[in-house]
Amino acid sequence: MEKFSISLPEELVSDLDALADANGLTRSAMIREATATYVVQRKSAQFEAKRRTRIDDALAGLDVVASQWGDDDHSGLEYLSEIRGEGALGDLPRGPEAADDE
């Protein structure tokens, strides 16, 4: 375990010590717990932001595919919903290549 010094305002230290005492922990244990929680939350927020970007990119791609199928009021999100079984797949246009087969 690595040791280092930090500076905190006196009021924060008092609150930290009171909370640690109430929970039967040392000051160091409280700081470790608080730091670990903070790090996990930050990593989770960064992961969620990247995940949201990937979802937005995928939906944009579905919008492109939907536009290639011709005039249609469906958005990429609506197509995704139908593909996932949340709507009727039979209502989906089959794409431009399907028209050549008919």
Per the structure, the count of domains in the chain is: 1
Q: Within a domain: residue 32? A: yes
Q: Which residue has the higher pLDDT, 75 or 54?
A: 54
Q: Is residue 54 part of a domain?
A: yes
Q: Which of 27, 33, 34, 32 is nearest to 13 (CA)?
A: 27
| All residues at 6 or more sequence positions from 20 whose CB lies less than 8 Å from its CB, including other chains | 26, 27, 29, 30
Q: Which of 5-9, 31-35, 47-51, 70-74 has the lowest mean pLDDT?
A: 70-74
Q: Are 75 and 92 in contact (CB under 8 A)?
A: no
Share of the chain above pLDDT 90, in %: 46
Q: What is the pLDDT of residue 93?
A: 53
Residue 72 pLDDT > 70 = no
Both tokens assigned to 1? 């375990």
For residue 3, tell me if it sits in a domain. Answer: no
In a domain, 4, yes or no: no
Residue 86, domain extent: 10-101
pTM for this model (two decimals): 0.49
